[in-house]
């Protein structure tokens, strides 16, 4: 197995007919970085900055953050590292920043928290920008965006941090800025969002939860959390079409990207980057290397005719078996 992984690491992720797909990874801890590099990751599609915040008993200072972020950026350089601004609330609670709510997933989480606390957001963005000095492989991504106004407010803060740092003498460049599409409202405004940013990235974990109204962590309704529900697939496909109309690249960084069958569908839909946990990268790469783009497109057409998730799952399993 180890030798197999070793051999796969340096092979490109491309279909049999040479359609190239970028496979990136999701990270949080430094341990993820090592695993990712061993498996030949070409970038980081989601660095969950909550992780260093969770490992402390207080907010890390700007300088502490700068050091942690610089390690990530250096480890992957020259590959891009997509840093998500703090995404707390919902299922991610900081012990030293309690949020008590009846409906945490519909409450104060992600960008909503940091726009209400610009000092937290600015310290984090300043730390990211300083960390990127002379490396220039940083990308900044905003979680839980549900309106253009939220995006614009966040952009104003990022530009402000950038200009302050230029005045302070830092040699930095303005990084690409992107938004996560993980709220149904953002699916319906994907084109308007895409026109204002450098990339979109789908958070399929939350998007599935919100589209199906199924708590992603509730065991009682776990069998209703159908990742390949036709409504989810339609949303995923629409996001790509909308974004590409604006010439904006789209990635996906939810768990779905790490599933070989789903990866075939995502490639057929036109996703530019699949970002997954490093553990899943080799099996997704082998699956994609075993099919043609046309195979994937045929599968997507078949799947689109299915009225429910079990029909979709059946088609996908069959396609995977056929690909060996
Ligand atoms: C997602 O929602 O799909 C996602 C990638 O973010 P998280 O799982 O951290 O909420
Ligand atoms: Mg999410």
Distance of alpha carbon 289 from the chain centroid: 22
CA-nearest residue, atom 9 of ligand 1: 48
Q: Are the CB atoms for 246 and 200 separated by under 8 Å?
A: no
Q: Is 205 in the pocket of ligand 1 (CB under 6 A)?
A: yes
CA of 169 from ligand 2 middle (Å) equals 35
Q: Are the CB atoms for 171 and 177 separated by under 8 Å?
A: no
Sign of the alpha-carbon dihedral angle for 237, 223, 210, 48: negative
Q: Is 182 in the pocket of ligand 1 (CB under 6 A)?
A: yes
Distance of alpha carbon 269 from the chain centroid: 17
User: What is the best residue among 25, 26, 143 to mutate for testing ligand 1's pocket, by most ligand atoms within 8 Å of CB?
Assistant: 143
Which ipTM value was assigned to this complex? Answer: 0.99
Q: Is 258 in the pocket of ligand 1 (CB under 6 A)?
A: no
User: What is the best residue among 187, 203, 280 to mutate for testing ligand 1's pocket, by most ligand atoms within 8 Å of CB?
Assistant: 203
Q: Is 216 in the pocket of ligand 1 (CB under 6 A)?
A: no
Distance of alpha carbon 211 from the chain centroid: 17
- Give the 3-state secondary structure of residue 316: helix
Q: Is 43 in the pocket of ligand 1 (CB under 6 A)?
A: no
Q: Is 84 in the pocket of ligand 1 (CB under 6 A)?
A: no
**46 phi and psi, to 5 degrees?**
-155, 110
Which DSSP state fits 25? E
CA of 66 from ligand 1 middle (Å) equals 23
Name residues whose C-beta falls within 8 Å of residue 19's C-beta, 6 or more positions apart in sequence: 267, 292, 293
Q: Print pLDDT tens along the chain (324 aa).
A: 556 767 888 899 999 999 999 999 999 988 899 999 999 999 999 999 999 999 899 999 999 999 999 999 999 999 999 999 999 999 888 999 999 999 999 999 999 999 999 999 999 999 999 999 999 999 999 999 999 999 999 999 999 999 999 999 999 999 999 999 999 999 999 999 999 999 999 999 999 999 999 999 999 999 999 999 999 999 999 999 999 999 999 999 999 999 999 999 999 999 999 999 999 999 999 999 999 999 999 999 999 999 999 999 999 999 999 988
Q: Is 82 in the pocket of ligand 1 (CB under 6 A)?
A: no
Name residues whose C-beta falls within 8 Å of residue 45's C-beta, 6 or more positions apart in sequence: 24, 25, 26, 82, 201, 251, 253, 273, 274, 275, 276
Assigned token pair, 287: 């699956």
Task: Please work out, in degrees rounded to the nearest 5, the angle formed at the alpha carbon of residue 86 by the alpha carbons of 98 and 181.
Answer: 115
CA-nearest residue, atom 8 of ligand 1: 205
- Give the 3-state secondary structure of residue 61: coil
- Give the 3-state secondary structure of residue 82: strand
Q: Are the CB atoms for 55 and 73 separated by under 8 Å?
A: no
Assigned token pair, 21: 């797909």
Q: Is 206 in the pocket of ligand 1 (CB under 6 A)?
A: yes
Task: Tell the residue number behind the tokens 């840093």, with chain if given.
Answer: 83
Question: CA-CA distances (angstroms) from residue 158 to 38, 47, 91, 95, 108?
Answer: 33, 18, 26, 27, 21
Q: Are the CB atoms for 22 and 273 separated by under 8 Å?
A: yes
**Nearest in space to 39 (alpha carbons), one of 200, 258, 221:** 258
Q: How far apart are CA 307 and CA 321, in angstroms?
A: 22
Per-residue pLDDT, 33: 92
């Amino acid at each position: 197995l180890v030798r197999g992984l070793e051999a796969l690491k340096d092979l490109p992720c491309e279909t049999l007919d040479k359609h190239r797909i970028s496979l990136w990874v999701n990270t949080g801890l430094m341990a993820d970085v090592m695993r990712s590099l061993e498996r030949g990751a070409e970038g980081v599609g989601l660095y969950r900055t909550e992780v260093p915040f969770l490992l402390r008993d207080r907010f890390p200072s700007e300088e502490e953050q700068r050091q942690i972020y610089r390690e990530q950026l250096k480890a992957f350089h020259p590959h891009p590292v997509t840093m998500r601004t703090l995404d707390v609330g919902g299922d991610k609670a900081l012990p030293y920043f309690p949020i008590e709510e009846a409906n945490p997933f519909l409450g104060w989480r992600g960008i909503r928290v940091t726009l209400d606390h610009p000092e937290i957001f600015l310290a984090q963005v300043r730390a990211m920008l300083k960390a990127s000095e002379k490396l220039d492989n940083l990308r900044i991504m905003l979680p839980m965006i549900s309106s253009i106004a939220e995006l614009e407010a966040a952009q104003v803060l990022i530009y402000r941090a950038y200009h302050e740092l230029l005045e302070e003498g830092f040699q930095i460049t303005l990084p690409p800025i992107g938004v996560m599409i993980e709220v149904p409202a953002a699916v319906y405004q994907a084109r308007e969002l895409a026109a204002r940013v450098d990339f979109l990235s789908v958070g399929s974990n939350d998007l599935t939860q919100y589209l199906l109204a199924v708590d992603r962590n509730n065991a009682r309704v776990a069998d209703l959390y159908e990742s390949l529900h036709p409504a989810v697939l339609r949303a995923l496909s629409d996001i790509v079409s909308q974004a590409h109309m604006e010439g904006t690249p789209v990635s996906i960084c939810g768990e779905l990207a790490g599933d070989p069958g789903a990866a075939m569908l995502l490639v057929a839909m036109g996703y530019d980057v699949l970002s997954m946990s490093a553990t899943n990268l080799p099996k997704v790469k082998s699956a994609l290397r075993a099919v043609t783009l046309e195979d994937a497109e045929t599968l997507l057409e078949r799947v689109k005719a299915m009225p429910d998730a079990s029909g979709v799952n059946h088609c996908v399993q069959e396609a995977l078996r056929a690909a060996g």
